[in-house]
Structure 1
Amino acid sequence: MDMNHIVDRLRGMNVEFLGMKEISGAHAGNIFRIDALSEDERVQYIYKEFADERNQEVEIHRNITDTVDSFSKVVRVWGDPPQAMLMWDLGSPIKEGFDVLSLEEKKRTMGHIVTRLTSLHCVEPVQTKLPDHQLSSEWKNWCLDQLGKLCSRKSWASPRWERTIQEAYERLDIPHYQSKCPSVITHGDPHLENVFYKDNEVWFIDWEWAAIGSPLRDVTILMQNIYDEDLIAYVPEYYLQCMREGGITWVNDDFRSDLSYLYIDHLTMMLAWEVEKFFQGHLSEKKIREIIEWKIGEIERVRKELEMKGLNGRI
């Protein structure tokens, strides 16, 4: 990693570079914590240099600058090579330490995040130049590929997991589902590793998947990060309450249908990502098995509920 261009970029902002440390993890690019001096004050930034195939965030920031600035702590984005962004250091993501919180503390935390998502979804999506989000077979195919690799490497991996996903997508025709709720600006990836709490406010990072789509897109990505039945039930109900307080209501069947379909798709997407983290050595065998069993169980539960209630893409 060449530090010279980082030093030069900071110097162009009248900021003195003091040092940096790489942040390890399963990231789409190289991420560093930067120590610097700005107007004689010691400051910390996060510098993210994008991988060539994962640089969509540069264009996203260009297209919805005002929106992103209201919900993140981005200082600067460089579109010239090497493409990168500079953010204020927000500390640790909410994911860290979340599991040890009490149920009430978890509900309060989720309430803060949901309230913030509500504010984002109430932003008028006019001339944003964002792509439209549509369900497809992409996450199913990736997940089946990941689980197939896992089954070939680990004796404890079960072919039942693949059958469950295949069955859900086929029986519900998920790839052809059309969202029913009015479209809004969605962050696209607000799982708990991309959510921070700083200065009494919730902030979101990693906007590369931002798009116009159902608001349940963000809600269900948040939900798939939860491993507690009470919390999973709490999040969409609290979101509905927040939207009602903002004067926005939806047809109940439309809300429930989007909720179920998008939840299954995002459980599948993040299951594949968790397996990838296991392959990269970031998760233990015990942890990945717990994650897979929970998410597979949720996919089965939601599919059965959809079939029983008749809430499917044909209503």
Structure 2
Amino acid sequence: MNGNRFTTVWTCSHNPVKPEPEGCRTDTEWLQPKKSGENMLNTISREVTDWLLSNGMETMDIYPLQGRFRASLFSITVKNASGQIKDLICKISSNQGVEVHLYQGLLGAEPALAPSWLGTVQTQAGTALVLERFGRTLTETVTGLSAAGRMALVSKAAVKLAEMHGKLEHQVEAQRRGDILPTSLEAVAKPWRQMALDELRGLRDRSGLVNESDATIHLTDLCTIAQRWVDTAHNYYTDTNSRITVTHGDPHLGNWLVRGEELRMVDWEYAGLSVPQRDIAIFLQDIPNLKEQQTLYETYVHTLRKHGWDTDSKQFKKDYFIHFLDNTLMMLGWDIASYRAGTLDADVFWEMISTKSVWIRSSAAFVLSL
């Protein structure tokens, strides 16, 4: 991993109780047809194609998208009544309550945040969201760009994220009354933290040092930090009066779509009412270069400050480091599991460990006074 470029982003089918590293994929696979020309009409239940037809869209072809996802994803080509050909995405899952709620309400009223939602269909396989197919992922788009070009595009996403947080703060009370968006995210994070600790211990027992040529990176120290965080993290999430807003919950670069000058976010199933630092801490996980990471953080807080947030307060910074520590540890556990499964290159993995160990130490020093 070169510190002057953006890392390849690894994400997996989310299952915090029992992660499956073999389900990992690169985000460049996100919108790629599995096999060109293969007709998969029988894979999707008849309810979806019937619904499309009832809305004036004839299904021309359906393709499953590569990679193992928690939801089943399909690319659908349709022809409308005027003969226009359009590409759609169909996402089928048995657990999409939050995402459906958002598309039916908040996201429908904020069309610049997400791809257009055409409708929801109840099928035997689960709830199907039918969305417009909107461009390419940010991860894929920045590949091949110059350093300046990458930073310009990712900075634009950071600004949009801050604008969303500032604008949607007024939605908090209404969303609370609706009782759909979670306000406590501890239940989601807790098993991921434990997985990270278990993976770190396993790597320590097998390796001793993350990188034998760099004796400053001791896995024993990382395990100590992880254990303390597992034991005390719930205190930091329950004992806070911090200002909150609507958060996406998983805004890594692979969940941003780019089309021309426009940006949209997908995969809103982890949305919740929380501090905005939750999102920016996840967003910055994909930026290995510390200078670029700091620049993007400053871009984000500068924009949020325009909406009246005191981003210079000690509490704001503490909340940021809490979420940055939490997410870095959880994703490090994922990285180790991916490496064990053979889906992550060894050189990339060891450099990732080296980079993230620095992040963990600095965050823990601020949060845990280590």
TM-score bin, normalised by smaller chain: 0.7 to 0.9
Query: How far off is 1:174 after superposition?
Result: 2.7
The amino acid that maps onto 1:145 is D
Question: Is residue 318–residue 366 contact of structure 2 (8 Å, CA) maintained in 1?
Answer: no
Change (3 A) 1:208 1:305: same
Query: How far off is 1:301 after superposition?
Result: 2.4
- What per-residue deviation string (whole Å, max 9, x for no partner) do you get for residues 155-214 of structure 1? 698595475154156169333114554100001110011011224221000001110110
Residue 10, structure 1, aligned to residue 52, structure 2: yes
Report what 2:40 is aligned to. none
Question: Is residue 29–residue 54 contact of structure 1 (8 Å, CA) maintained in 2?
Answer: no
Change (3 A) 1:275 1:203: farther
In structure 2, runs of 5+ residues without a counterpart are 1-42, 211-216
Report what 1:174 is aligned to. 233
Structure-2 separation of matches of 1:99 and 1:233: 21
Report what 2:304 is aligned to. 243
- What per-residue deviation string (whole Å, max 9, x for no partner) do you get for residues 210-255 of structure 1? 1011010111110111111112111221112112233433452112
Report what 1:138 is aligned to. 191
Structure-2 separation of matches of 1:272 and 1:196: 26
Query: How far off is 1:88 after superposition?
Result: 1.2
Report what 1:108 is aligned to. 152
Change (3 A) 1:236 1:133: farther
- What per-residue deviation string (whole Å, max 9, x for no partner) do you get for residues 97-152 of structure 1? 53544332232122211221122212112311321144563331122234456678
Q: 2:174 aligns with which of 112, 115, 127?
A: 127
Report what 1:313 is aligned to. none
Structure-2 separation of matches of 1:157 and 1:84: 46
Q: 2:134 aligns with which of 90, 95, 110?
A: 90
Report what 1:49 is aligned to. 92
Query: How far off is 1:8 after superposition?
Result: 1.6
Structure-2 separation of matches of 1:258 and 1:202: 27
Bigger shift: 282-291 or 53-62?
53-62
Structure-1 separation of matches of 2:174 and 2:66: 37
Change (3 A) 1:7 1:149: farther
Change (3 A) 1:102 1:199: closer
Report what 1:233 is aligned to. 294
- What per-residue deviation string (whole Å, max 9, x for no partner) do you get for residues 290-313 of structure 1? 3333222211122234566x9xxx
Query: How far off is 1:272 after superposition?
Result: 3.1
Residue 75, structure 1, aligned to residue 118, structure 2: yes
Question: Is residue 107–residue 114 contact of structure 2 (8 Å, CA) maintained in 1?
Answer: no
Change (3 A) 1:289 1:205: same
Give % identity. 21
Question: Is residue 23–residue 33 contact of structure 1 (8 Å, CA) maintained in 2?
Answer: yes
Residue 58, structure 1, aligned to residue 111, structure 2: no
The amino acid that maps onto 2:324 is Y
Report what 2:222 is aligned to. 164
Question: Is residue 93–residue 192 contact of structure 1 (8 Å, CA) maintained in 2?
Answer: yes
1:213-232 → structure 2 map (5 Å cutoff): 213-232=274-293
Question: Is residue 58–residue 79 contact of structure 1 (8 Å, CA) maintained in 2?
Answer: no
Question: Is residue 65–residue 75 contact of structure 2 (8 Å, CA) maintained in 1?
Answer: yes
Question: Is residue 181–residue 250 contact of structure 1 (8 Å, CA) maintained in 2?
Answer: no
Question: Is residue 33–residue 44 contact of structure 1 (8 Å, CA) maintained in 2?
Answer: yes
Structure-1 separation of matches of 2:64 and 2:340: 21
Report what 1:267 is aligned to. 328
RMSD value over aligned CA atoms? 3.1
Question: Is residue 118–residue 242 contact of structure 1 (8 Å, CA) maintained in 2?
Answer: yes
Question: Is residue 139–residue 265 contact of structure 1 (8 Å, CA) maintained in 2?
Answer: no
Residue 30, structure 1, aligned to residue 72, structure 2: yes
Query: How far off is 1:90 after superposition?
Result: 1.7
Using structure 1 for the length normalisation, give the TM-score.
Answer: 0.84
Instruction: State the secondary structure of the residue aligned to 2:138.
Output: coil
Question: Is residue 208–residue 219 contact of structure 2 (8 Å, CA) maintained in 1?
Answer: no
Report what 1:187 is aligned to. 248
- What per-residue deviation string (whole Å, max 9, x for no partner) do you get for residues 240-299 of structure 1? 211223343345211211111110111122223344555666433333333333222211
Change (3 A) 1:87 1:156: farther
Question: Is residue 186–residue 217 contact of structure 1 (8 Å, CA) maintained in 2?
Answer: yes
Q: 2:62 aligns with which of 11, 20, 41?
A: 20
Structure-2 separation of matches of 1:209 and 1:253: 27
